[in-house]
Structure 1
Amino acid sequence: MTANTAELNGEVIEAPSRSVDVLPPDVQTKVQELSPLDGESQMRHVTALLSHSRTGLLAAIAAQDLPGIVAFKAKAGGIQEMAKQLRLGKDMQSDAAEFVRRAERGVGAGIREGQADGTVETNATAARRREKRKQDVATEHRGSRLPNARDFAKQSELYGPDGSSGIYAMTDGVSDEQFEEALGEARAEGNLSRANVARRCKAKAKPPLADPVFDAARSEPGVGVPKPFHGFKKNSTEMLDSINHMLQGAVQTLEFIDADDVDPAQRSRIRTELFTSLNTIRKFMKEVSRDR
């Protein structure tokens, strides 16, 4: 599996680039497969998929794997669409919409951090590249370029239709605490749209501290320096608490599983992977339990 692929319910899908709003191709197929089932079975299936995807998104964020985060953003959109088409309960649809917003914030954070560390192109580096390309054409030489923000999300997603209600509004100058507050308020209101969450985040956002280097660079013609983004990928408490909630959900799902019905051909692989995960959790819990 390459960096540009992800797995949706056991099937490999391409991580989208410039067409990131396209749902995984098998979403409609999954909806058709689940449609004949009763509501409880549909809910279990989508809940399991959502829990697995949340874990994968956290892992991609922790690894600073921007293509992986983009892939899980696409998966988030697929899960949300499944919940809508299957007409699952209000709470499930809200859970799916919340997952989409978290994945979008992950994309925004990844882009901003990539721009800060030089692995994602900014407006300034793009301008220099275009100038150099003009010179290279004369010498018949073309160099490679860094990815830019629009390789990971559409401009309309990043900025929103009004230029200030997109992914960046949920990222720039917005702390984890402010994002959680905005998300909670939007959920209570029953409107977890990107525009609504972004507006609430923007209202809570604090401007970055004065930085002479940053301000000087921002004032240069054609330079688009991103606002600093701090802490999203290093909030260990939030990530551990999210894993805790996911594990609780996974444990509750066990009551619906009949061990005798597990495919014998898959049993050994699943058991080995589960034991590996459990051992990793046990080792980490020893670290958490240590007196500091």
Structure 2
Amino acid sequence: MRAMLRRIKSAYTVLRYPLWVPPGHYYSPLADKADVSRAISQIDTNEEPIAIELNGTDQRGLAELLAQHWSEVPTVPDPQWRYNPHNLWFGLADAAVYYSILCHFRPSRVVEVGSGFSSAIALDAAERCLPDLKLTFIEPDPRRLLGVLKKSDEPRCQLLKSPVQDVPLGVYDELSSGDIVFIDSTHVSKPGSDVNWLLFEVLPRLRPGVHVHFHDLFWPFEYPKEWILERRGWTEAYMVRAFLSYNKTFKIELFTSWLWGVAPELVKKALPAAVDAQPGSLWIRKC
């Protein structure tokens, strides 16, 4: 029912604001049937992107260190934790990795672009191993975030109820080596979008050593077949792939969908409840 209402609303919007060309036209950002079929057939080839350093050995080494913390994250709802693994937005696998990265690298500051269940696990990590952590949440619709905040969280948290494009860039100047920019964007590159702003304005100004997370990215920089067939029109993965190509300034630290595919034995041992998950987090670091 919710999907049907969304489609009706979309159709109404198109009628109010006519498109220059119809969806699927070769000038349209929305794929036609041939493009969809082509994209899906390329997924099945499993070809690795060229011109991108995957750093597989380093990824495995880091994962072995992080895995020591994965079992600390509850696999069922726990009243002692803000994070609830039974959600559709930030699953157990990605949450456990985020939690372990926080506990391992021990940042002083985290800036989250987009908030919700990821914020819950960050606050849980802060409560357990990072008493001095400061968190900034950039979120124009913070209802989900406000639902997990406790009174005791207020001193460490700053909420900027605004699109990230309207937030002063000085927020990122406060970050130092080891700190984190956690990005869960609209996933769409278009004029004036958050994706463009983050890639073109935010990432280049970060100090060396800052970690950056992108959510809903999957190896090898393509979206799941179901999402392509839904014609979501998401383009962030392609933008990030282009950003990382021939890029010696940013290094891939951990690509969870790749790791889950090549190291099932590690996942089965450290986080068996998520062995069949399809995680979608890309972690990179500015060198």
Q: Which TM bucket (shorter chain)?
A: under 0.3
Bigger helix fraction: 1
Structure label with greater radius of gyration: 1
More strand by percentage: 2
- TM-score, normalised with respect to structure 1: 0.25
